[in-house]
Amino acid sequence: MRAKLVQVYQAMGDEKARDTERTELIALHNAGKDTSSIAKRSDFCREQYKVGKHSVLVYEPFVFEPRGKDGWFAPRYQFLVADEEGKLEVRIEVGWNTVVKNSKGIYQPNGKLSAFYFDGYYSTARKTLGLFAEELTYPAVKKHIQTILETKVKPDGGTTHKDN
């Protein structure tokens, strides 16, 4: 229910209530006291909205930490973008690369080696859709995503692949 409240308050523009619910949801999950189906997930749906003909779902991890054994990337958000028929067009991952643990055991960007990235994962390619020296606020991230979806952002680079 708290995940839905985060989405509702976001849609209403009530950032204070959204942030309160988000904080409570994350604390409940991380305390291990959540018995709902979301307790088994590593992330929650933070927001749902439309950009033109695109439907967008935004997922945020409960814990900010690197993924995979290399630990080079630490996603903040996943934007799933679908077309009019609901078919996934692209997954845009937003987060930090080259993160390290600080003295308190919390992951943080690794100074000058880090970049706050926007990577688009398409059916045949991964494209870099933005690199920033500093982390963007959620409203700025959302605005950059909108700019990407309006095709005003050209990829900085990327790699092709045959499979997702």
Specify the pTM: 0.84
Query: What crossing angle do the helices spanning 2-12 and 15-30 adopt, rounded to 10°?
Result: 160
- What residues contact 35, with CB distance under 8 A and at least 6 apart? none
State residue 72's pLDDT score: 74
State residue 111's pLDDT score: 66
Residues β-bridged to residue 112:
none
Delimit the domains of the chain by residue range. Answer: 1-41, 43-160
Per-residue pLDDT of the chain (164 residues; tens, 9 = 90+): 888 999 999 999 999 999 999 999 999 888 887 777 777 888 999 999 999 999 999 999 998 888 766 667 889 999 999 999 999 999 999 998 877 777 787 777 776 667 889 999 998 888 989 888 888 999 999 999 999 998 877 766 655 555 44
Cα-Cα-Cα-Cα dihedral sign, residues 140, 44, 82, 54: negative
Residue 94 backbone phi and psi in degrees, to 5: -125, 130
State residue 163's pLDDT score: 45
State residue 69's pLDDT score: 67
CB 3 within 8 A of CB 45: yes
